[in-house]
C-alpha cells in the first residue's frame, strides 16, 4: 500500500482461451488483449496475456488494466493498490480460511469482530488442552 513494490511484481497472467472477438464479456485479460491488438500487436488464441490492474473500478473496462507490453520501461506506472489488497486478502482467505481467517479482521466489511482470528484459534486450542487435562 505504500508503493514500495515494482510493477513487474504485480503482473497478472491469463491465457486467452478463445479468439478475442468470441468473448461476450470484457474480462481483464480480454481488455488487455484488445488494447494490445489496438497497439498493433498480433494476438492469437492460446497466448498468455500479461497485465497490471491500474483502475479496477473505472467505468470503461478497457481502462481498468494496462497490458505489460504497453508499460513504458523506466517510467513510473500507477497501479490499483486497493485491487491488489483485495486479491491478497482473497488468497489469504483461501489458504487460511480453515483456521478461521476472515476479511473482517482487516476492516473492509462493516461487521468488525472484537478478536483477531488467530487469538480465537489460540483460545480454542488452550480450551482443548484444559479439557484434556480434566
Could you tell me which residues come within 8 angstroms of residue 98 by beta carbon, excluding any fewer than 6 positions away? none
CB atoms within 10 A of CB 25: 7
Residue-wise pLDDT tens digits, 106-128: 655 434 444 566 667 777 777 77
Domains (ranges, CATH) in the chain? 7-79 (3.40.1820.20), 84-133 (no CATH)
Burial 117-129, CB ≥16 within 10 A → b, else e: beebeeeeeeeee
Determine phi and psi for 66, rounding to 5 degrees.
Answer: -125, 125
Report the distance separating Cα 134 and Cα 129, nearest Å.
9
pTM score, whole prediction: 0.71
Residue-wise pLDDT tens digits, 24-68: 999 999 999 999 999 999 999 999 999 999 999 999 999 999 998
The phi-psi region of residue 3 (left if phi > 0; otherwise alpha if psi is between -120 and 50; otherwise beta) is: left
Lowest mean pLDDT among 3-7, 43-47, 84-88, 101-105: 101-105
Please compute Rg for the chain using Cα positions: 21
Amino acid at each position: 500500500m505504500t508503493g514500495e513494490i515494482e510493477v513487474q511484481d504485480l503482473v497478472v497472467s491469463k491465457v486467452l482461451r478463445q479468439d478475442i472477438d468470441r468473448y461476450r464479456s470484457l474480462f481483464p485479460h480480454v481488455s488487455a488483449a484488445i488494447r494490445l491488438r489496438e497497439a498493433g500487436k498480433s494476438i492469437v488464441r492460446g497466448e498468455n496475456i500479461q497485465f497490471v490492474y491500474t483502475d479496477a473500478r473505472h467505468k470503461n473496462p478497457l481502462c481498468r488494466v494496462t497490458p505489460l507490453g504497453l508499460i513504458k520501461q523506466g517510467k513510473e506506472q500507477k497501479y490499483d493498490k486497493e485491487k491488489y489488497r483485495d486479491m491478497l486478502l482473497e488468497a489469504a482467505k483461501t489458504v487460511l480460511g480453515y483456521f478461521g481467517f476472515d476479511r473482517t479482521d482487516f476492516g473492509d466489511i462493516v461487521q468488525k469482530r472484537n478478536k483477531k482470528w488467530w487469538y480465537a484459534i489460540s483460545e480454542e486450542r488452550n480450551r482443548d488442552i484444559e479439557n484434556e487435562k480434566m
